[in-house]
Structure 1
C-alpha cells in the first residue's frame, strides 16, 4: 500500500470548504492527476454518490469509480476502485480562527501483481501529494470567491 498525508490551511470557513470538497467532481481543479471527474446520477451529494474519475499518473491513464462513503460535518471519505487498485481519500477538517485546517490522507492499495510495484511508487505519490497541497488552497480560493479562475483571467 502507498500512503500520503498532507496538512493544508485554508482561508475559508469549515462548512464552505467541506461543501466544496464533498463534490468530488471538483477534484479536476485541485488534483493535478485528475483528467476528468464526472458525477454519476442526480440528487444531493450524500454517502453513496458516485463519480467516474479518469486520472493520469506516470504517463498512464486509469479510470476509477469513486463513492462517497462518509460525509460528516468535519470529515469526508471517498473510495475509488478498479481492477488494479482501491484508493481511499480521507479528509478531516478542523475549524481555526480565520479558516480551516485540512488533514488529507490518500491510501492506495494495489491488487494482484500491481501490489509488487507499490514500494517503488511511494516517491511518485509523495510528489503528487505535494502538488495537491499546493493546488488545493488555490482551487478552494477560486471556488469560494477569493481569487479569479483561469477562465476569468482569459476573458
Structure 2
C-alpha cells in the first residue's frame, strides 16, 4: 500500500473549496495525470455519485471508476477501483485565516501481480503528489475574485 499526502493553504474559504472539490470531474483541471473524468450518473453531486477517470501515469494509461463515498462537513472521500488497484482519496478542508488549509491524502493499494510494482508506485506518486499540490493550489486560488 502506498500513501501520499500533501497539506497546503489556499485563498478561498472552506465552503468554496468543498463545493469545487466534491465534483471529481474537476480533476481534469488540477490533476496532472487526468486526461478525462466523466460523470457516470446525473443530478446533484452526492454520496454515491460516480465518475470514470482516464489518466496517464508514467506513460501508461489507466482507468478507474471513482465513487464519492463521504461528503461530511470538512471531509470528502473518493474511492477509485479497477482490476489492478484501489485508490482512496481523502480531502480535508479546514479554515486558515480568511482561506483554507487543504490536506489531500491518496492511498493506493495494488492488487494481484501489480503488487510487485509497489516500490515504483511510491516514487511515481510522490512526484505526482507534488505536481498535484501545485496545480490544485493554482486552480483553487483562481476561484477567488
User: Do the aligned partners of 2:31 and 2:135 also contact (CA within 8 Å) in 1?
Assistant: yes
Cα distance in 2, alignment partners of residues 51 and 120 from structure 1 = 26
Cα distance in 1, alignment partners of residues 67 and 124 from structure 2 = 24
Count of residue correspondences: 145
- Alignment RMSD: 0.9
The farther-off stretch of 33-42 and 74-83 is 33-42
CA shift, 1:141, in A, is 2.4
User: Do the aligned partners of 2:12 and 2:144 also contact (CA within 8 Å) in 1?
Assistant: no
The aligned counterpart of 1:45 is 45
TM-score by length of 1: 0.91
Cα distance in 1, alignment partners of residues 2 and 96 from structure 2 = 30
Q: Which runs of 4+ in 1 moved over 6 A?
A: none
Structure 1 residues not aligned, in runs of 5+: 147-155
Alignment of 1:119-138 (within 5 A): 119-138=119-138
Q: Give deviations 1:109-133, integer Å, cap 9, x for gaps.
A: 0000001111122111100000011
SS in structure 2 of the partner of residue 48 of structure 1: coil
CA shift, 1:145, in A, is 4.2
CA shift, 1:73, in A, is 1.4
SS in structure 1 of the partner of residue 28 of structure 2: helix
Cα distance in 2, alignment partners of residues 103 and 141 from structure 1 = 15
Whichever of the two has the greater Rg, that structure is: 1
TM-score by length of 2: 0.97
Alignment of 1:135-146 (within 5 A): 135-142=135-142, 144-146=143-145
